[in-house]
Amino acid sequence: MEHRRLGRTGLRVSSVGLGTMTWGRDTDEIEAKDQLEIFLDAGGTLVDTAASYCEGASEEVIGHLLTGTVDRRDLVLVSKAGVRTWRTGARSTVADASRGTLLDTLDESLARLSTDHLDLWLVQVPDPTTPLEETAHALRAAVVTGRTRYVGVSNHPAWASAHLAGLLREAGGPGMAAVEVEHSLLSRGIERELLPAAQGLGFGVIGYAPLGRGVLTGKYRASTPPDSRGASPHLRSYVAPYLDERHQGVVEAVATAAVGLDRRPVEVALAWARDAPAIASTIVGARTPGQLRGALAAEDLRLPVQIRHALDEVTAPAIGYPERF
């Protein structure tokens, strides 16, 4: 598997990362162990998790694997903070990127992961109630104390990412290493402003959900399989936005390209996202080891120029004023 520099940092990441959003709930520890071994055997290094994934269970599973079967030095370990769950009355989740919450969550993540540091630590979602200056201070403190090597954000718009990059640069040190955002043939909005900002300011971009939350595999073309994320009570709402008529044409285009290449739709979708301009790595999540093997079969696939161009045309995001300049 190819390894690429993350922005202008010295950190190198595998072109495909392993997502663990379902670990500890829909994916048990035995299946997670199998997935991690498959991923490492394929040359992968980047493993992505978050304190919020399965209420910490994802990190706990990774921690168990790190103490039993996997060498910590073989991984580029990424986790996220900044989402807090309240359990007073009805359960609710809110964004909280305040200094106290971020640093407390980081310490809890390190304990669950059985490690003394992360390779990359990200603020998971924007928090409109906390000044970016405070968030930047917390990120800087995490680096200075050695609890993470690099920092960045996830799901933040271009203006916030650029502002935070400037704040971290003013503070000295490694600055902002990366932004992690959704990017697939069904979600190309980051190409309007975020990708140009990343290229101009030097932070890397990690994509996630390259398979369109599973929709680009074609599994939902006729119906919703009972064992799929689309049928899961935890993830049904995550998949639903891509099951409408607007996205059917893209799914059919991927399926047509797959037939022409004698490959499967999952391989075409992953190859497109992996090799998209300015993407350092794309994170694929699988519920089972078999699903992961199927996705990683795309490793030797390089889309012909004509097919990539056709898929680009079908899915191109609308570019208006002033981005078109």
CATH number at residue 152: 3.20.20.100
For 238-260, the pLDDT digits (tens) are: 888 888 888 999 999 999 999 99
What pLDDT shows up at residue 222? 67
Q: pLDDT band for 86, please (50, 70, 90 cuts).
A: low
Between the two ends of the chain, the Cα-to-Cα distance in Å is 36
Share of the chain above pLDDT 90, in %: 82
Alpha-helical (H) ranges within the chain are 29-41, 57-68, 99-113, 132-144, 158-170, 194-201, 236-239, 248-261, 265-274, 289-296, 305-315
Q: pLDDT band for 89, please (50, 70, 90 cuts).
A: low
The answer to whether residue 161 is domain-embedded is yes
For 162-186, the pLDDT digits (tens) are: 999 999 999 777 799 999 999 999 9
DSSP assignment of 256-270, as one string?
Answer: HHHHHHTS-HHHHHH
What pLDDT shows up at residue 47? 98
Cα–Cα distance for residue pair 61/200, rounded to 1 Å: 37
State the total domains in the chain: 1
The answer to whether residue 325 is domain-embedded is no
Give pTM, 2 decimals: 0.94
What pLDDT shows up at residue 84? 81
The answer to whether residue 197 is domain-embedded is yes
Q: pLDDT band for 304, please (50, 70, 90 cuts).
A: very high
The answer to whether residue 160 is domain-embedded is yes
Domain hosting 69: range is 3-211+279-302
